């Protein structure tokens, strides 16, 4: 699916209860002036001119020095936050990952500092009429900072940083959702989007963050991590067929030694594959896969369901799943073999015998299949006479 970053919010003055992640890293930069503990904005014309000059300052070194001075003199100023955002956006344009991280951390810490002093004294946070608006805007900006850190940290392969800000970013997304819901009839005007558009952007923000985390786990071959993130993504998009298929397929390859853990994992894997079956027809219809590729996807899905069922000792479901897999790809010997295995464990020789015969017909070089086939045939017929004719008959039935 296409994942888009969360959009810039039109209003850049904001208020948010920030997690304070960056506080220890940036507190030295943001110094509270005890002489003006509640000073929020410049008062004199000259001070206001100093702020406005920041917009026209082209020298990056001087611009940063001026901003540091403003942070020192006006740590709770909404103007200061406007320039912090400006500096962050400039860094985004330069595309230096470490600069982006540093500037975003600075912005997050400033918001935390801002909140402590501007809103920390409010006993009933919902009482001020503009409180939800302020909180929504800041939650949205906080989310953008976390997303930019995640992207930059991914580029730098800073796994811990990505993991940390993924969690914080998801929390910020929850905050944005909550405050958007409290905006009431003014939500469209304040947020610049209706509820449907906001829901889509909120979903994309979550998927962006989780996808980055999953990519890192995939590159480091951390299968359990990929599974964990896959399940969290399914909480966001529960009916995504491709994600259901991929997550369940990984689960049946990751078999825990502990029986209880194994049962729980296999039950979830089978549930995901069941849900994927419900949407597989529409998924394949919309895909650009060839007929052969589509058949392979179906076989993989039913094979996953069958393997999970085998681990759970549910031979009936396993047989049904592998029948569906062999119907999708009749030329795949491994699917016939697994069908035969499920039939043998269910003590259903009428399922097991033809399945092993077809597996042997398709892959005669595998000695184990031949040995099992002979045992089954002799158990049913009392002799091995006629076995070759039986194999040929079952093979011909495949249509090859």
322 close to 303: Cβ distance less than 8 angstroms: yes
Instruction: Give the tokens for residue 94.
Output: 């330069």
In a domain? residue 4: no
Cβ atoms < 10 Å from Cβ of 310: 21
Q: What is the percentage of the chain residues whose pLDDT exceeds 90?
A: 60
Question: In this predicted model, what pLDDT tens digit does every residue of 224-266 receive, in sequence order?
Answer: 999 999 999 999 999 999 999 999 999 999 889 999 999 999 9
CA distances from 370 to 216, 364, 381, 393 (A): 43, 7, 16, 16
* pLDDT score recorded for residue 138: 82
In a domain, 127, yes or no: yes
pLDDT of residue 48: 60
For residues 44 and 167, state if they share a domain.
yes
For residue 31, what are the contacts with CB-CB under 8 A and spacing of at least 6? 71, 72, 75
Pair (204, 134) in one structural domain: yes
d(CA 399, CA 331): 9
129 and 161 part of one domain? yes
**Same domain flag for 207 and 245:** no
Q: Tokens for 169, please give them.
A: 């970013």
- 233, 267, 284 — which closes off a domain? 233
Q: Are 134 and 15 in contact (CB under 8 A)?
A: yes
Burial class of residue 108, CB neighbours in 10 A (0-12, 13-18, 19+): buried
218 belongs to a structural domain: yes
53 — pLDDT class (breaks 50, 70, 90): low
- Residue 282 and residue 210 share a domain: no
Same domain, residue pair 140 and 274: no
Domain co-membership, 53 together with 198: yes
* Residues 383, 334 within the same domain: yes
Cβ neighbors of 324 (< 8 A, separation 6 or more) are 298, 302
Does 17 reside within a domain? no
pLDDT at 318: 98
Q: Mean pLDDT score of the chain, rounded to an integer?
A: 82
Q: Residues 54, 71: contact at Cβ < 8 Å?
A: no
What pTM was estimated for this model as a whole? 0.76
Mean pLDDT for 44-57 is 60
Pairwise CA distance, residues 250 & 304, whole Å? 9
Q: Are residues 203 and 252 in the same domain?
A: no
Last residue of a domain, one of 173, 202, 233: 233
Same domain, 54 and 197: yes
Positive/negative CA dihedral, 146, 147, 152, 155: positive
- In this structure, what CATH number is given to the domain that contains residue 279? 1.25.40.10
How much is the pLDDT for 400? 72
Torsion-angle region of 272 (φ positive above 0: left; ψ -120 to 50: alpha; else: beta): alpha
| Domain-embedded: residue 151 | yes
pLDDT, position 94? 78
Which one-letter DSSP state was computed for residue 124? Answer: S
Residues 6+ positions from 164 with CB-CB distance below 8 Å: 21
Domain count, the chain: 2
Query: Is 112 domain-assigned?
Result: yes
Token output for 307: 């393997």
253 and 207: one domain? no
Residue 342 and residue 249 share a domain? yes
86 is in which domain, residue-wise?
23-233
């Amino acid at each position: 699916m296409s994942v888009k970053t969360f959009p810039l919010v039109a209003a850049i003055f904001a208020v948010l209860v920030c997690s304070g992640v960056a506080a220890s890293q940036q507190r030295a930069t943001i110094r509270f002036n005890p002489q003006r503990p509640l000073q929020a904005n410049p008062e004199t014309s000259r001070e206001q001119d100093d702020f406005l000059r920041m917009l026209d300052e082209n020298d990056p070194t001087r611009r940063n020095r001026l901003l540091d001075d403003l942070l020192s003199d006006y740590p709770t100023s909404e103007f200061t936050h406007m320039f912090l955002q400006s500096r962050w956006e400039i860094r985004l344009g330069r595309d230096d990952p470490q600069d982006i991280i540093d500037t975003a951390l600075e912005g997050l810490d400033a918001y935390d500092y801002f909140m402590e002093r501007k809103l920390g004294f409010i006993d009933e946070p919902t009482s001020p009429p503009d409180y939800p608006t302020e909180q929504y805007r800041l939650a949205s900006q906080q989310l953008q900072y976390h997303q930019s850190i995640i992207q930059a940290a991914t580029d730098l392969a800073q796994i811990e940083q990505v993991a940390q800000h993924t969690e914080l970013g998801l929390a910020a997304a929850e905050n944005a959702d909550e405050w958007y819901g409290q905006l009431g009839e003014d939500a469209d005007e304040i947020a610049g989007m209706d509820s449907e558009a906001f829901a889509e952007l909120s979903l994309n923000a979550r998927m962006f963050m989780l996808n980055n985390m999953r990519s890192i786990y995939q590159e480091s071959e951390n299968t359990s991590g990929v599974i964990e993130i896959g399940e969290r993504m399914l909480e966001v998009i529960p009916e995504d067929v491709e994600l259901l298929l991929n997550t369940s397929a990984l689960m049946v390859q990751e078999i825990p030694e502990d029986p209880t853990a194994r049962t729980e994992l296999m039950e979830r894997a089978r549930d995901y594959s069941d849900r994927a079956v419900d949407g597989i027809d529409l998924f394949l219809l919309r895909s650009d896969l060839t007929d052969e590729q589509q058949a392979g996807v179906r076989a993989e899905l039913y094979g996953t369901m069958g393997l999970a069922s085998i681990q759970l000792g549910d031979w009936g479901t396993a047989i049904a799943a592998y029948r569906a897999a062999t119907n999708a790809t009749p030329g795949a010997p491994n699917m016939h073999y697994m069908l035969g295995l499920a039939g043998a464990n269910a003590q259903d020789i009428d399922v097991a015998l033809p399945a092993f015969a077809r597996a042997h017909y398709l892959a005669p070089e595998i000695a184990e299949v031949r040995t099992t086939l002979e045992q089954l045939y002799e158990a049913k017929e009392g002799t091995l006479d006629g076995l070759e004719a039986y194999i040929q008959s079952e093979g011909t039935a495949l249509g090859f």
